[in-house]
Structure 1
Amino acid sequence: MNKEMQRVADEWGVVPEEDLPGLAHELREVARLPGMRAIHHQLFDGLNLHLDAAVLEVGCGPWLWGPMLRQYVGPTALLAGIDVYYGLVAAATEPNVCVADGRRLPFHPRSFDAVFCSRLLTHVGPTEVLIDEMMQVTRRGGMIGAFEWTFSQWEIEDDNGPISDAVHHALVDNHYRPDIGVELPDLLREMGLSGVTAIPYLERITDAYDSPLTLELIRRHVDLVLATGEFPAEDVEAWYSAIRQRAEEGRFALTRTGLASWGKV
């Protein structure tokens, strides 16, 4: 990563470079989940993608949605992606993926028929600057879209409310804009997009396939709760052990929510 992109990555402060290979693997696994694939199909349907449409993904990571996009636009269409982290871009299979800052997109105005992001705006901002950049590189009549989480509405099913609530609050507080999913439709309208549409995503996760990834996410925020000293450490660890036990027995459950939104430039 060059010095300028390292500065931007440090400014955004999301993921240490040494953690990027693990993150790339985790992102790929999540993208394979049926619910995630279904909501992205709905998003791409909403973007009115057609054969040979030029499409840009902002915050593309290791290029998760390229194969699905090809189903819409065909083998010769221009697909491009940018991400601030070289470690994620290096894992991408699309040649038109590069390291760049989403707040200063390196493309000519009106270059794309559609521009989208997925699970980006909850982590980084300023949100309005990112959306404005996306609009600048989209052709008139083209589409802007996003899929984003609504973390405050997530729910871990367990028998210890206070610790569960504390872990949930840590999850919410650890994101730049944790509820951008539900806020995004109004924001797109305020920024001048027309025909804004939103599709809710709600999935109750009980599948063991997803449990290891979800448990890793919970573990990271359990550590944040431990750092506060709000609860005895043994109580917090017992809570997490019970969650793991539920997962091993097939009784783990997490309800997570988000929103896919899109509109016309």
Structure 2
Amino acid sequence: MTNSGEASAQFAGETPFDVGERRAWAGRAAAYAAGFGRLCAYTVPRLLDAAGVTEGSRVLDAGTGTGAAAAAACARGARVTAVDAEPDMVRAAAAAAPEAAVRLAALPQLPFADESFDAVVGNFVLNHVGRPRAALAELRRVTRPGGRIALTIWAAPPASGQALLGRAVQAAGVPRPPDIPALAPEDDFPRTEPGLAELLRTAGRLVGVVCSAVSWDHRTTPEEWWHGPASGVATIGRVVTSQGPAVTERIRRHFRDLAVEFAAPDGQLVLPHTALLASGRVAG
């Protein structure tokens, strides 16, 4: 299963949200890397610092995507294992981090023994799992006592740059298709500093939890920023492409008009984004 025309991988215990995520990402590693992947890589150095990743550390990168965190951890001299639920991402990550052991696997069931890793990182992975609490418990299971877990998620409400594409969809009057399931309310949690910190303390049973906002301006071009959703990348891409080329073009026109407020003199877009970075230690 290597391209967008192939079925997505199946994993035991998937929720409807998980199935929708598989569809949203299937075969789209290259389109992701060209736009959203560059955005998400911004938090990687701080994520690795928060997890205490140093030379010789046994590190798990959960939800590695195209391998930015795995490659950065390898560059620090860590012994890296990386997993992703999408085969196209696994291949891309293996190419980006050839020193890492990259394999297909999905939270909340990882194919590793208890206490296998000194540090576990997940760069935005909790945004893409149907059972965040179960995922956190699984990450704790595979982390040794005294080891650290560090995670990022997107903050809610979103920063203005992050909201741009959604505003274009709304301005075009395009609803979220009913076949794109939302996270079940009982599985959700507040996407705030206190909300993410509490998740690590309760579901992860971590100690010494800290959580802070990370804000930055992402510089891109209108063409690059539009390419991802127009290629069907992520949930926003499924919405953008859900009703055919004419509707996609209508959304693009609204995107073009709204993007003007973020335009720099050189024609690039300067898009404010805010993520949350939380970390904690496994007691013992």
Using structure 2 for the length normalisation, give the TM-score: 0.70
Matches of 2:268 and 2:182, distance apart in 1: 28
Amino acid across the alignment from 1:132: A
Change (3 A) 1:10 1:188: closer
Identify unmatched segments of 5+ residues in structure 1: none
- State how far apart, in whole Å, the 2-side matches of 1:264 and 1:40 are: 19
Q: Secondary structure at the match of 1:140?
A: strand
2:29 corresponds to which residue? 23
Residues 83, 89 of structure 1: 8 Å contact kept: yes
2 CA distance for matches of 1:62 and 1:195?
30
Aligned partners of 2:105 and 2:207: how far apart in 1?
28
CA distance in 1, matches of 2:79, 2:62: 14
> Could you tell me how far apart the structure 2 residues matched to 1:28 and 1:236 are?
20
Give the number of equivalent residue pairs: 251
Q: Which residue of 2 aligns with 1:54?
A: 58
Task: Report % sequence identity.
Answer: 23
Distance in 1 (alpha carbons) for counterparts of 2:181 and 2:214: 21
Contact persistence 1:150–1:181 (CA under 8 A): yes
Report 1:1-265 matches (<5 A): 5-7=9-11, 11=16, 12-13=18-19, 14-16=21-23, 20-27=26-33, 29-32=35-38, 36-72=40-76, 74=77, 77-93=78-94, 94=98, 96-156=101-161, 176=183, 180=191, 182=193, 183-191=195-203, 192-205=205-218, 207-209=219-221, 211-216=222-227, 221=236, 224=239, 238-243=253-258, 250=267, 252-265=269-282
Partner Cα separation in structure 1 for residue 248 and residue 26 of structure 2: 29
With normalisation by structure 1, the TM-score equals 0.74
Say what the alpha-carbon RMSD is for the aligned residues.
4.1
Aligned residue type for 2:200: L
Q: Deviation at 1:38?
A: 5.0
Structure 2 segments unaligned to the other structure (5+ residues): 2-6
1:200, CA displacement in angstroms?
1.3
Q: Which has the higher helix share?
A: 1
Q: Tell me which amino acid in the other structure corresponds to 1:67.
A: A
Compared with structure 1, are the counterparts of its residues 193 and 178 closer, same or farther at alpha carbon in structure 2 (3 Å cutoff)? closer
